[in-house]
Amino acid sequence: MEADVIGLDSVGVAIQVIDHRDYTRHLLFDWGGELIGHVHERFSESSQTDPEPSRILKRVQFRARNEAHRQTNAGLLLPVFDWQVIEDTIAILESFDIQQIMEQFGDFYDAIQSPPVDDLAFTALFLSLNDKRDAIVNRSDPLSFYFEDETLLHTHFRYEEEPDAYLTIPPFERPIACDKGFRDILVHHLKCRIRDLHYMQGLQPPSEYQVKGLGINKQKIVPYNDQAL
């Protein structure tokens, strides 16, 4: 989808999006990120049979948020949904030696290896970066998500900050040491998140992010080639 900022005023920011069917849409967000209006060309009769109109609508809106976030200082996108912040997090992880990996992620590794719950789905960790986004300055306690009577629950945790990034790692399929191999699993997961953030905008991710694995787990992500055309 093509997107561009077409207007700025005291009310907010206006974005034009040309979607996958070449329909032009105009969206208006206030400076705090609230969607004020979404105007689009009238759908043709054939388009009304689209099997996933709500998904298309969400992709258009998320594409608009991303483009406005890139071009303005409007607060339209949380850091955890900003793939450039995730890229900076990857760079930090790739710079770590084994000692730093153990210091930063030893507790997280232990929680994945020996979870405090049964029927573990995945283990999460929230991260905060410094202003330059070149160092991790804080992290949450590991958070275990598990199933109980087919309901997804999680262990108790407190994290006062708005995280810049987070990790969600499923149970290990094979023995893994807390070394650069574990670091590579974390990096691969973050690449999967970047992949999904592109899919959520109706975009094909760059080749280095066209990878398989768990990315954003809270919603069903439709790969670019499977999205309605």
Provide mean pLDDT across the span 209-220.
81
Instruction: Decide if 218 is inside a domain.
Output: no
Of the residues 60, 77, 94, the one at which a domain ends: 77
Distance CA 129, CA 114 (A): 27
The two counts, helices (H) then strands (E), for the chain are 4, 9
Q: What is the pTM of this model?
A: 0.86
Same domain, 116 and 186: yes
Same domain, 61 and 164: no
Same domain, 59 and 107: no
C-alpha dist (Å) from residue 46 to 21, 43, 49, 220: 11, 8, 6, 25
Same domain, 49 and 101: no
Same domain, 25 and 8: yes
Instruction: Decide if 219 is inside a domain.
Output: no
Instruction: Decide if 40 is inside a domain.
Output: yes
Q: What is the pLDDT of residues 29-49, one digit of tens each?
A: 988 888 888 877 544 444 445
Question: Total domain count for the chain?
Answer: 2
Same domain, 69 and 91: no
Domain that holds residue 11: 1-77
Same domain, 134 and 40: no
Instruction: Decide if 216 is inside a domain.
Output: no
Same domain, 101 and 191: yes
Instruction: Decide if 206 is inside a domain.
Output: no
- The residue among 73, 44, 206 whose CA lies nearest residue 19 is 44
Q: What is the dihedral of CA 111, 135, 159, 33, to 10 degrees?
A: -130
Contacts with 114 (C-beta within 8 Å, 6 or more apart), sequence order: none
Look at residue 216 in the predicted model and tell me its pLDDT: 85
Instruction: Decide if 184 is inside a domain.
Output: yes
Of the residues 44, 77, 110, the one at which a domain ends: 77
Same domain, 102 and 60: no
Q: What is the pLDDT of residues 80-135, one digit of tens each?
A: 999 999 999 999 999 999 999 999 999 999 999 999 999 999 999 999 999 999 99
Instruction: Decide if 220 is inside a domain.
Output: no
Same domain, 105 and 73: no
Same domain, 92 and 58: no
What percentage of the chain exceeds 90 in pLDDT?
A: 55
- The residue among 154, 90, 160 whose CA lies nearest residue 126 is 160
Look at residue 159 in the predicted model and tell me its pLDDT: 87
Same domain, 148 and 188: yes
Of the residues 42, 77, 112, the one at which a domain ends: 77
Instruction: Decide if 193 is inside a domain.
Output: yes
